[in-house]
Structure 1
Amino acid sequence: MWMETKTEEEETRIGHASLSRRALKGLRLFTGDMKHLDEYMQDKYFVLQLAIWGLRGVTRVILANNPLSGALIMAALCWQSPWQGLLGSLGVLASTLTAVIMGQDRTEVSGGHHGFNGMLVSLLMGVFSSAGDWYWWLLLPVCLGSAMCVFLYSGLSSLLDHWDLPVSVFPFNTIILLYLLCTGSDHPYFPHHPAIPPRALVPNDTKLNAVEVIRGIPLGVGQIFVCGALGPSLLILGAVLLYSPLLAIHALLGSAVGTLAGLSMAVNHGYLYSGLSGFNGALACMTIGGLCFTFNWKTHLFAIASAFISAYVGIALGNLLGTVGLPVSSWAATLTTTLMLLLTGSLAAYRIPTAQVMAPEHNLRSHRHCDAGRTREKESTDV
């Protein structure tokens, strides 16, 4: 009787373990880059393929490549503002369709490389517009600006490929500045709000609220999508977590570093509370901390240093561009990470070629397999 009971308990335990493994394996299908979905979509209707390409483009903004994460981000944007959700969708579709019409590389198009710059341009146009929500004339510059991003991306890629550098968001940063310079705050059709420098003084803003500062850390992740509400920002952070826990940790860490840098420079409190002080640091920390470099303690410290540099550069550029009413956008993170990717020395050995960049966990496993293979080869040679 005792043996039978013991056997039943072992079978139950084995069954639970097997069920847990199957559940974990099923969960992994929805994490990382979801390459299996590309194989499944190869013979499907173009409209369905376009939707997946667009969702991948949405996640490229947060340096991810997961269509399910893209769906979560779109839900977060619609949650904060249906108008912003519409503009973001239109921007990513306009740029992706332009890339298809131009005959851009299919791998780049299907990977969302031509969608994220257009999405960011459309979101910034909507946020800075002083004409209010549901101003339909704004759809014209949104479509044109998003399409122009493809031309800039194509031209810059042929230049930056010589140094194995990603085009990143150079097209978005360029197009949005040109648009705001062309229109101005008193334009009869496309007026916009002038940007406020980080060091601008705010009346009666003398006492710092610690709770609001802490709240600004997750908002720094949301501000990557120009999202200033806590709930949608947490959903965006959840989308990063679904793609890669390592990337989510570095996103929060980079935003915290950016907030700390803002405190040290005594930026105005609204800049801290809204998360604007943290998003450039978050982007830099995510790029270096496991995405473009193999994750280890050296590159982790390097990512933190990059976040600090990016945050301080963001404050400096914000004060400079703010004098003429222009936003710093993500110029600080883009310039900082581009320079960091050009570094030489021992850290350069951990650099992942741009064409091979995937989820940080995948990069880490690939690095370990390569190290194990080199070790076995060395042992066989020694014998």
Structure 2
Amino acid sequence: MEADGIVESPPSTTRHHFTHYFMGEIKPLKEWIKDKNIVLKFINACFRGIGQPVFLNNPISGLLVLAALFVQNPWQAINALLGLISAQLMSMVLCQDRGGVENGGFAFQGLLIGSVVTAVSAEEDWYGWLSFPVICLGAGSVFVSSALNNLFGRVSLPAFNMSFNLVTFLFVTATTHTNDFFPQKPVAATIPWIGNDIDWAEIFKGLPRGIGQCYGCDDVVSGCLVAAAMAICSPIILWHAIWGSFIGIMVGISLACPLDLLYNGVMGYNSVLTACSIGGVFMLISLRVHLLAIVSAVIAAVTSLALFQFLGVLGLPMLAFPFCAIAALFLLVTTEADYFVKIPLDQVTWPEDHWKRYHRMNITVQNSNELV
């Protein structure tokens, strides 16, 4: 195939069909659903929103993540869906940014709220009253998201999942473990560091658990399903997620953190989110950017442990505050040589697509210069 004077070998039909109809944003589906009824658009947006916490704007990935939530805990999955639906409906009622609504960019905050609020609740499963704050908090997160998007947008930064963090933290802080209606599990490490008595099988399981903890899941199968969702949408995101979880574990071991933080993946998920966001989602992937993502994951892990120790005294969870802080900090890094190419927020899709569009643009510029 010849394009702009550059001869390229044609991709195989099988590979082309897979990348076109399964990977990334699945653009054919986005085009097909434009003129369909609101019910189909709503379902599509919800499934895209399920994958958005780990930067997957892909309904197939969303389906796998939903399966991961049900494997973890059906009650947790149902509340996650309630939070997702309430946030999606509120974003439509408030006429938020059309692209964000269609891609589940507001709904995923409600999903995380429903999942994590259920995970930290001290009540037994199927405590129906818990669904009421989940629905209200999910809807309320849209107001916070809209405000934060405007605020962070002034400095060309994404708001990440800060809305979920703020809303969930306020609810957990307001109720605590002594509340009569919505008590929370006290946050405290239970397994101290005991020299060489490390269960390396549990450490190995902590790798997928670190990925699953992005949704509040500590089940190994759930973590593997989330990883599979990443693999379908973007192998680059999966690659950095694995690195992030591994780095979280290694930093935890080097700092002699409580063993349960290593075993259940708590030390990994902030590093996973940070590495993925820097390593291709909001920056153009390159060797330098990959190394920057690794460094950011290390700092996110150290920050996670520090914040866990600080908030643990108060019995409060650290949530994803370390990810938001460190990722934002590293996205502000600049060099005179343009080693780190930042993706404009209105052009963020998925890492492989960023790479293709960047090189097509370079080819076009080079050809224009040759003509001059």
TM-score band w.r.t. shorter chain: over 0.9
Q: Does 1:209 align with 2:199?
A: yes
Q: Deviations along 1:82-110, whole A, 9 cap, x unmatched? A: 11110111111110101111111221100
**Do 2:288 and 2:340's aligned partners in 1 also have CA atoms closer than 8 Å?**
no
Q: Deviations along 1:266-303, whole A, 9 cap, x unmatched? A: 11111101111111111111001111111111001000
Q: Which residue of 1 aligns with 2:283?
A: 293
Q: Which residue of 2 aligns with 1:81?
A: 73
Q: Which residue of 1 aligns with 2:51?
A: 59
Match of 2:141 among 144, 149, 159: 149
Q: Does 1:47 align with 2:39?
A: yes
Q: Structure 2 CA distance, aligned partners of 1:123 and 1:227?
A: 9
Structure number with bigger Rg: 1
Q: Does 1:332 align with 2:322?
A: yes
Q: Does 1:318 align with 2:308?
A: yes
Shift of residue 205 of structure 1? 8.3
Q: Does 1:131 align with 2:123?
A: yes
Tell me the amino acid that sits aligned with residue 257 of structure 2. Answer: V
Match of 1:370 among 354, 357, 361: 361
Q: Which residue of 1 aligns with 2:3?
A: none
Shift of residue 196 of structure 1? 1.6
Q: Structure 2 CA distance, aligned partners of 1:322 and 1:210?
A: 25
**Do 1:78 and 1:84's aligned partners in 2 also have CA atoms closer than 8 Å?**
yes
Shift of residue 25 of structure 1? 2.6
Shift of residue 380 of structure 1? 2.4
Q: Report which stretch shifted further, 206-215 or 172-181.
A: 206-215
Tell me the amino acid that sits aligned with residue 271 of structure 1. Answer: L
Q: Deviations along 1:140-169, whole A, 9 cap, x unmatched? A: 110111111100011111111111111111
Shift of residue 363 of structure 1? 0.5
Match of 1:159 among 148, 151, 154: 151
Q: Which residue of 2 aligns with 1:107?
A: 99
Shift of residue 348 of structure 1? 6.3
Q: Does 1:118 align with 2:110?
A: yes
Q: Which residue of 1 aligns with 2:260?
A: 270
Q: Structure 2 CA distance, aligned partners of 1:294 and 1:378?
A: 23
Shift of the 120–378 alpha-carbon distance from structure 1 to 2, 3 Å rule, reads same
Q: Deviations along 1:184-205, whole A, 9 cap, x unmatched? A: 21211111101125xx653978
Q: Does 1:32 align with 2:24?
A: yes
Q: Structure 2 CA distance, aligned partners of 1:205 and 1:95?
A: 46
Tell me the amino acid that sits aligned with residue 202 of structure 2. Answer: E
Tell me the amino acid that sits aligned with residue 141 of structure 2. Answer: C
Q: Structure 2 CA distance, aligned partners of 1:233 and 1:196?
A: 23
Q: Structure 2 CA distance, aligned partners of 1:202 and 1:164?
A: 42
Q: Structure 1 CA distance, aligned partners of 2:193 and 2:73?
A: 29
Q: Report which stretch shifted further, 88-97 or 371-380.
A: 371-380
Q: Structure 1 CA distance, aligned partners of 2:89 and 2:203?
A: 41
Shift of the 222–250 alpha-carbon distance from structure 1 to 2, 3 Å rule, reads same
Q: Which runs of 5+ in 1 are unaligned?
A: 1-17
Q: Which residue of 1 aligns with 2:236?
A: 246
**SS of residue paired to 1:227:** coil
**Do 2:141 and 2:167's aligned partners in 1 also have CA atoms closer than 8 Å?**
yes
**Do 2:193 and 2:258's aligned partners in 1 also have CA atoms closer than 8 Å?**
no
Q: Which residue of 2 aligns with 1:5?
A: none
Percent identical among aligned pairs is 31
Q: Which residue of 1 aligns with 2:216?
A: 226
Shift of residue 377 of structure 1? 2.2
**SS of residue paired to 2:314:** coil
Match of 2:352 among 339, 352, 361: 361
**SS of residue paired to 1:41:** helix
**Do 2:47 and 2:104's aligned partners in 1 also have CA atoms closer than 8 Å?**
yes
**SS of residue paired to 1:61:** helix
Q: Which runs of 5+ in 2 are unaligned?
A: 1-9
Shift of residue 376 of structure 1? 1.8
Tell me the amino acid that sits aligned with residue 46 of structure 1. Answer: I
Shift of residue 347 of structure 1? 4.7
